[in-house]
Amino acid sequence: MSEHIATIEWSRGDQPFLDKRYARAHDWRFDGGAEVRGSSAPSDLVPPPLSDPAAVDPEEALVAALSSCHMLFFLAFAAKAGFVVDSYRDEAVGVLGRDERGKTSITAVALRPAVTFSGALLPDAAAIDDLHHRAHGACYIANSIRAEVTIEPR
């Protein structure tokens, strides 16, 4: 098995804190050197400037991680099958709601990949469905979450 490390850092600075009007923006740092600005999702509860609409919120990050994981397995399975993938674009959508336990959670994620192929061997619809089915079954993130995940190829 392997470990995956992220360093999350926030500092209050000179902001008041107990009135709950502190900025939620923070930094995500990854072992390869990538840095991403994070924040709570802008909402009525945490409106800008307390949240940063330009930053990635944890809910978006979960949806992106799921989509990315699915894509990486899809590409690997397509290559193994001899299909040349030219492009892959997913406009994934996660839904935040109440789950069966009454907890607020990501209850559903729709992956909506549009994949372009080229070459002598092109997959038919059944082969594409199989690639998505296998990618979903192998995806570590999909295997780690409770949300219903649907795949709606475009």
Q: What is the model's pTM?
A: 0.93
Q: Which residues share a beta bridge with 38?
A: 26, 56
| pLDDT tens digits, one per residue of 108-122 | 999 999 999 999 999
Residue 79 has pLDDT above 90, yes or no: yes
Q: Which long-range contacts (CB under 8 A, 24 or more apart) does 134-141 make?
A: 134/73, 134/77, 135/70, 135/71, 135/73, 135/74, 135/77, 136/70, 138/73, 138/77, 139/66, 139/69, 139/70, 139/73, 140/69, 141/62, 141/65, 141/66, 141/69, 141/70
For 4-153, strand residue ranges (E) read 6-9, 26-30, 35-38, 84-90, 93-98, 104-111, 113-118, 148-151
Q: Which residues share a beta bridge with 94?
A: 109
| pLDDT tens digits, one per residue of 3-16 | 999 999 999 999 99
Instruction: Kindly indicate the confidence band of residue 102, based on its pLDDT and cuts at 50, 70 and 90.
Output: very high
pLDDT given for residue 45 in this prediction: 86
User: How far apart are the C-alpha atoms of 35 and 3, rounded to whole Å?
Assistant: 18
